[in-house]
Amino acid sequence: MSADSEATASQSPARSASVQSATRRRPRARVRPQELAAARGGAREGLDWLGRRPEAKASLLYRAATVFWRLLVFGLFRIKVETSGQEHIPNGGGYILVSAAHRGWMDPILIFHALPLEPRTWFLGSGPSAFTSRWKEALIHRLGGMLPVWRGGVGIEQHVRSAQAVLDNGAVFVQMPEGTVNGPTGRIGPFRPGAALIAMRTGVSILPIAMAGTEELYLGKRLATRVLPMVTIPELVGEAWPGEMPEPNSRAELALAKLATEGLERMLGPVVEELFAKTVDPPDHPRRFRKRMTWLLLGPGPLEH
């Protein structure tokens, strides 16, 4: 379909829910991470895959990549990002960043845009979604910034080890607690408790960041982010805080993590909805290259986790 025909289709009166139609996932064949891993002779995760310390310094290659994506996103694609709350960002690293709503491939770039170049950010991300080709995996390994997850649901220990390595080196550990891009439009989906558990195990604070608008991308799209004040696990739990951290792998630990996760949902949910309203264009606004840009770096999905 040409750019003109896409723009015409996007302006049709029948398109009353523009964002929903743009982000509705097509019924494709489901891909199991286990099958992908088997096809490549197995898959390593986290630090085992990285094979080095997660660096906090920005290398020359990383700096060059930053210049490239800025030219691509803000120059060629003409994306506009309203960013606020930078006064809440600490001077150094050693903290966990929790971001929502996660709706597309642009989300990590929004985080890069909101934070300083150093200390570097390291994402706990899906290997099956990111490593759709060997060259892409090799590039990500060289650039750094990602600690892949393949299996899922097998315990938190290896992810705590990855996070601790990032934090000990003065970098920033990033997690998107929804765990999927297939969430509701304009608001957050249910959070998983992994980020809270990792914060509890490592004993560091959490920097929340709200993002909106990436469900749908096109030339000149408006996006928005806001960094919220740093928060601790006791602050998220509130009056239910027991006074000390429970034993690892106990029911009490999981229950406390769920309470902290609910606290993060209460913090980020209203802000995401507020920001989303600023990113919605009227129905007759041109949406050139909408399909191509929205799906640009998404994998063949959907994936089963």
* One-letter-per-residue 3-state SS of the chain: CCHHHHHHHHCCCCCCCHHHHHHCCCCCCCECHHHHHHHCCCCCCHHHHHCCCCCCCCCHHHHHHHHHHHHHHHHHCCCEEEEECHHHCCCCCCEEEEEECCCCCCHHHHHHHHCCCCCCEEEEEEHHHHCCCHHHHHHHHHHCCEEEECCCCCCCHHHHHHHHHHHHCCCEEEECCCCCCCCCCCCCCCCCCHHHHHHHHHCCCEEEEEEECCCCCCCCCEEEEEECCCECHHHHHHHHCCCCCCCCCCHHHHHHHHHHHHHHHHHHHHHHHHHHHHHCCCCCCCCCCHHHHHCCCCCCCCECC
Q: Cβ distance 293 to 218 under 8 Å?
A: yes
> What torsion, rounded to 10 degrees, do the Cα atoms 224, 229, 232, 238 define?
-100
Integer angstrom CA distances of residue 91 from 228, 275, 285: 15, 25, 40
Please say if the pLDDT value at position 230 is more than 50: yes
Confidence class for position 152, pLDDT limits 50, 70, 90: low
- Classify residue 238 as left (phi > 0), alpha (psi -120 to 50) or beta: left
Per the prediction, the chain carries an average pLDDT of 87
Confidence class for position 31, pLDDT limits 50, 70, 90: low
Please say if the pLDDT value at position 168 is more than 80: yes
Say if residue 302 is preceded by a cis peptide, omega within 30 of 0. Answer: yes
- Classify residue 42 as left (phi > 0), alpha (psi -120 to 50) or beta: left
User: According to the model, what pLDDT value does residue 14 have?
Assistant: 42
Residue found by looking up tokens 């929804």 in the block: 178
In a domain, 215, yes or no: yes
Confidence class for position 303, pLDDT limits 50, 70, 90: very low
In a domain, 305, yes or no: no
Please say if the pLDDT value at position 219 is more than 80: yes
In a domain, 303, yes or no: no
Please say if the pLDDT value at position 28 is more than 80: no
Domain containing residue 238: 3-294
Return d(Cα 225, Cα 272) in angstroms, integer: 8
Q: Which pTM was predicted?
A: 0.85
Percent of the chain with pLDDT over 70: 83
> What torsion, rounded to 10 degrees, do the Cα atoms 25, 194, 236, 115 define?
-70
In a domain, 94, yes or no: yes
Residues 75-105: pLDDT tens digits?
999 999 999 999 999 999 999 999 999 999 9
Count of structural domains, the chain? 1
Listed in sequence order, the residues at least 6 apart from 104 whose beta carbon sits closer than 8 Å to its beta carbon are: 23, 181, 214, 215, 217, 294, 298
User: According to the model, what pLDDT value does residue 244 have?
Assistant: 94
Percent of the chain with pLDDT over 90: 73
What are the backbone angles phi and psi of residue 248, rounded to the nearest 5°? Answer: -60, 145
In a domain, 279, yes or no: yes
Return d(Cα 245, Cα 155) in angstroms, integer: 18
Residues 55-66: pLDDT tens digits?
999 999 999 999
User: According to the model, what pLDDT value does residue 94 have?
Assistant: 96
In a domain, 299, yes or no: no
Listed in sequence order, the residues at least 6 apart from 285 whose beta carbon sits closer than 8 Å to its beta carbon are: 11
In a domain, 282, yes or no: yes
In a domain, 144, yes or no: yes
CATH number at residue 20: 3.40.1130
Listed in sequence order, the residues at least 6 apart from 10 whose beta carbon sits closer than 8 Å to its beta carbon are: 18, 218, 286, 287, 290
Residues 255-273: pLDDT tens digits?
999 999 999 999 999 999 9
Integer angstrom CA distances of residue 254 from 200, 231, 242, 249: 10, 19, 13, 7
